[in-house]
Structures are given as structure tokens and as C-alpha cells.
Amino acid sequence: MSDAHLSRRAVLTALGALGAVAALPPTAAARPARRSPAVHAGGRRVAVLGGGMAGLTAAHELVERGFDVTVFEPSALGGKARSIPSPGTGAGGRLDLPGEHGFRFFPGFYQHIPDTMRRIPFPGNPNGVFDNLVAGHAFRMAIPGAPDLTAPASIAPPRFDIYDPLTLQESLSAAFSLGGAIPADELGVFVRKLVMFLTSSIERRNGQWENETWAQTLEAEGKSQGYRDILVSALTRQLVAARPQTVSTRTIGIMGQAFVWNAMGVVPQYGHLDRVLSAPTNEAWIDPWAQLLRELGVKFEMGWGAEALEVSGGRITGARVTDRSGARATVDADWYVAAMPAERAVSLWSPQILALDPHLEAMNELVTDWMVGIQYFLRRPTPIAAGHVAYLGSPWALTSISQAQFWRGDFAARYGDGSAHDCLSVDISDWDTPGILYGKTAKQCTAEEIARETWAQMAACLEDGTGAIDENDIVSWFLDPGVRWGPGGNRNDTPLLINTAGSLAHRPEARTAIPNLFLAGDYVRTDIDLATMEGANESARAAVGALLEAAGSSAPPPAQYRLHEPPELEPLRRADADRYRAGLPHMLAV
């Protein structure tokens, strides 16, 4: 079975080839082409089930350590991170217009993804794919009926005594004042809560904050519209597609403190807070990565997805895979890495699997939600901001970025038929609130209605007399094909895991109780604790480290990084640990 390129056309061609070989003996169609002499205890053949961010990371780390790796991917490499060409839009030798699941965002506190990027060669780049990251310098908050707020992506370094709690509150108050958009007394509540989290012990975070929702912690009830739109909602719906009434304060707090330390410039190893790619994701990252992995010896079996795991003697003895034509095959390997999204991984947990690792059943309690993108291809460059835009108060919790200003080369000369000069990529984070045009939720709208409604909500937020966007500029638009319409209503093939309050207990570790099965995905417990590319990469590294140990390998485990916890605050966290164990509230609790 030959490898497939990453374009949609090539994937379809590969699927046709798969049908031609369906008559081969099942194991021959899916088994790695050769079996090298085992150099590790227990063998060296690894089947990676899934070719998204977690699967590619696992394959990369394993092949560098001498394992024979085969990746089984049912649709396209890169998963939700990949580019998705808008079919049939290229002309005159140009590429199809570049669609995507949603825009890519690489905060400066990401450390695993940049480490991987630096190891992927790219022509002319001393640091490989990493050098394709460029900085967004401003963040714009567009508010209907009010002046927009534009803030730099980083702020001046604070005073040296920032870690004193009172000074920390003053610094954060200045950072979050947002031009007076939030009443001072309410801003004080928010900052006090944030400082409480920053100085909380791990015990309190995993106990109290994990089991509270963000809305509960911020005492959202009765607060002003600005407080609820910006501090309660925007930090959850627009950044991580989570409802403040359900998402864990622990998760939002971990992200919040990472953004704070990054923006304040107090962590030397962090990069610029707001980084984006200098080209569509496949061009800038995924394609060079896949090419490198092939050169290193990774085999990609495209069009095949895992449907069941076979068990005998307490181990996985095979993985049954199927393609879109219904052909089936059995994968024979020594080690198995399930690198699938949570909602697909649970379909593998048969009674036999759960008998060996009962904790996996808790994954059925995990919650997913929709965060899906739409791209508008525009007749003129439309740099609404030199970075991301949050449309505060928009019913569908919209965020966007104008791509062409960051992408190398001439957009119109490279993509489409030459008439489009920009790509305005928009993330729709709330699919359950009625819009302003049709009075329907995004889940109830047709694709055309979603395109019109999303544009109308952005225009309502940008009514500031600048003519930031004009619907006459729209050449075409592209909605993530993961959203599908049918007689039973809309469905989304690529939902996002949401860390609801109390869900940490339901999330597994990378190492399972089955000795040759490991988990990699953004649902696995990680330090970053959020469904992100970084979380997927981190979890895959943990899975590889556990596999190396189980295999008796002498190869060093992949590097793993932790988010910055200021040592200056450690005395306060120790004191809070004593208070928490004694059943006392945080010292700043009112």
C-alpha cells in the first residue's frame, strides 16, 4: 500500500488504490512491510492509531529511537491542525484557496510544539519549521455599540517586587483595566480571584478549583455586561470554546496564569505571546513534517481507521482497522499507541479492554463541544488588527485573524483564481445561542446561513466608522467540512474536548493498565491541561516515554516541559497547602 500525499485529491486517489488491494489477505494489507530484528525487549514494531497532532508526535519520537512505526490514519494527516483546500478554487497554476478547521495560534508558553518544530527541516530556515512562526503584535476587542479596545500582545515588564500579593494585584489591575470597560469594583473581584489562583497550592487547585466552574469562581451573577462579556465569557468561549457555567476553574486558571506570565515577560524561555504561521498549516508545518517522518522510515497507511482491539493473555494482540469501502484488516504489532480523539477512542474500549483497565470507562463522562472555523476569501487585504480579534458580545463567540498580513508571498498570486487577496479566518465557538439574523443557533443553520450570520455578527461589532469589513469584498467562503448536514440535523465530526468541572478524574494517563497499549491525545492528563495542539504533543511524549520503559529501551525519553510556576510564590503556595489541609479558605477569600 503506497503512501498518500496530504492534499484532498491525493487522499481520494489513495482510497481508490486501497479498494484495489482489498482482495489481498487482510493482515498483508495493513501489516508493516518488513519486520526488523528486535533490538528492544518485547519487539520494536509500533502501530500508531491516528495521524493527528498526537499520532505524528508519537511517530516522530519513536522512529528517532529506532522503532519501526506505522501510522494508520482514516482521513488526513494533521487532524484538526491541518489545512483543508477549498476544492476547485485554484486556477492558472495557483493552489486551491486555503481553508482550515480553525486558525492556528501558538502562545509563547507552548514549549513542546516549538521543540518538535525545530527538528523539522525547512528550506532556508536555520531553526526548521519553527522559523515559520511570526508574531502578532496586537489584540483587538470589538464591542457592539462601544469603542473597540486594542491591546499589545505583551506588556512592559513589571516591577521586581511583582510577586508581593498586593503589587501583583496592582499590576494585574492595570493589565486588565481595558480602558475602563469594566467597573473598578468588579475588576477588583476578578483580579483578587486570579491572584488567589496564582498563590493556591496544588491541593487546592485539584480539589476546590477543579470542582468549581469559572462562572462560580468569578461570581458572575449580577455583574455588569462588560464583566460578563470580557472576563467571564471571552476568556472561556472565545479562547477555548468552553461555557463558563461548566468549565473547570482549574483549567481556565492554568491557562490564565500562563498568559499572565507570558505577557509580563517574566519567563525567559517563553516566546512572543501571540504567534501564528507564515503560511497555511500544511505548507508551513504538516507537509514538511510528514516528509521528514517518511525519510526517517515511518510508514503511513492512509484511509484506515481503528475499529477494535483484540486481546489475549492480558495484552493487545491486534488492531482491527477498516477503510471507507468497508474492507477490513488486522494490524499486528508489538506496541499500540491509540492517538485518536477521545470520542473515537472510547469506541475501542470493549468489555475485554475495560476488564483489563476499568478506569478507561470513565472516559465516557468526558464532554465535547463545537469550535469550528469558517474562512472568507476577500478581494482586498483586510487587516482588521495586527493579530487576533475577539468580537465581544457576539452571540456565537467569534474570534478572527486576517491571514495574508502574516503569510509570505503574494496571496492572490499563489491561491485561487487571482481575485482573492486575503483570508479572514473566523472561529465560531458558540453553536448553541441564537444569532441576530435568523434567530437560530449555528447548529440549526444551513452552511449559507452560517456564512451570512457570522459576517453579520462581525459587522455589528465593527461598526466604528472605519469600514473594517465590507461584504462586497467576499469572493467565496469555506466552512470546515467536519460539519455535516443530514435529516437528523447537523453533526460535527471534529468536536473539541471541554474540561468541565470535575472532569480531571475521568481523564486517563498516557500509560494504561494494559502493558502494550498507550494513549496519546488532548484528553490525556498533561501539565498544560487543555485540549490544544500542545496538549496533544505533550501527551504523545508521555506515551512514548512509557512505551520506552515498558520495552526496556535504553533510549532517552522525549523531553517534557512544565508551565512556569514562579519560585517566588512557593512560600505562599506552601502556606495555602497547610490552610487547605486544615479546611480553611484561601488567605484572600472574603
Domain region containing 307:
8-75+303-366+502-551
Whether residue 145 contacts residue 391, with contact meaning beta carbons closer than 8 Å, is answered with no
The answer to the question of residue 298 being in a domain is no
Question: What pLDDT, on the 0 to 100 scale, is given for residue 171?
Answer: 55
End-to-end alpha-carbon separation of the chain, Å? 65
The answer to the question of residue 34 being in a domain is yes
Claim to verify: residue 55 and residue 102 sit in the same structural domain: no
What is the 8-class DSSP label of residue 510?
S
Whether residue 327 contacts residue 18, with contact meaning beta carbons closer than 8 Å, is answered with yes
Question: What pLDDT, on the 0 to 100 scale, is given for residue 369?
Answer: 93
Other residues' Cβ atoms within 10 Å of the Cβ of residue 200: 27
Claim to verify: residue 472 and residue 391 sit in the same structural domain: yes
Mean pLDDT of residues grouped by 10 in the chain (590 residues)? Answer: 33 31 31 30 87 98 98 97 97 98 94 98 98 92 78 57 61 54 86 93 97 96 88 80 91 92 89 95 98 98 97 98 95 98 97 98 96 96 92 92 97 98 96 96 95 96 77 97 85 94 98 98 96 97 98 97 95 97 94
Number of domains in the chain: 3
What is the domain-level CATH number for residue 45?
3.50.50.60
**Beta bridge partner(s), residue 388:** 401
**Burial classification of residue 344, based on how many CB atoms lie within 10 Å of its CB (0-12 exposed, 13-18 middle, 19 or more buried):** middle
Question: What pLDDT, on the 0 to 100 scale, is given for residue 148?
Answer: 78
Claim to verify: residue 391 and residue 358 sit in the same structural domain: no
H/E run at residue 391:
strand 388-391
The answer to the question of residue 565 being in a domain is no
What is the domain-level CATH number for residue 395?
3.30.9
Question: What pLDDT, on the 0 to 100 scale, is given for residue 366?
Answer: 97
The answer to the question of residue 563 being in a domain is no
The answer to the question of residue 587 being in a domain is no
Claim to verify: residue 413 and residue 473 sit in the same structural domain: yes
Angle of helix 165-175 relative to helix 184-198, nearest 10 degrees, comes to 130
Question: What pLDDT, on the 0 to 100 scale, is given for residue 263?
Answer: 86
Claim to verify: residue 506 and residue 433 sit in the same structural domain: no
Claim to verify: residue 412 and residue 468 sit in the same structural domain: yes
Claim to verify: residue 339 and residue 416 sit in the same structural domain: no
Cα gap 169→51, rounded to integer Å:
44
Question: What pLDDT, on the 0 to 100 scale, is given for residue 42?
Answer: 60
Claim to verify: residue 251 and residue 352 sit in the same structural domain: no
The answer to the question of residue 288 being in a domain is no
Whether residue 154 contacts residue 272, with contact meaning beta carbons closer than 8 Å, is answered with yes
Claim to verify: residue 218 and residue 257 sit in the same structural domain: yes
Cα Dmax for the chain:
72
Whether residue 349 contacts residue 363, with contact meaning beta carbons closer than 8 Å, is answered with yes
Whether residue 11 contacts residue 4, with contact meaning beta carbons closer than 8 Å, is answered with yes
Among 464, 492, 520, the domain boundary falls at 492
The answer to the question of residue 569 being in a domain is no
Question: What pLDDT, on the 0 to 100 scale, is given for residue 558?
Answer: 98
The answer to the question of residue 82 being in a domain is no
Claim to verify: residue 189 and residue 211 sit in the same structural domain: yes
**Beta bridge partner(s), residue 248:** 213
Among 442, 468, 492, the domain boundary falls at 492
Claim to verify: residue 182 and residue 267 sit in the same structural domain: yes
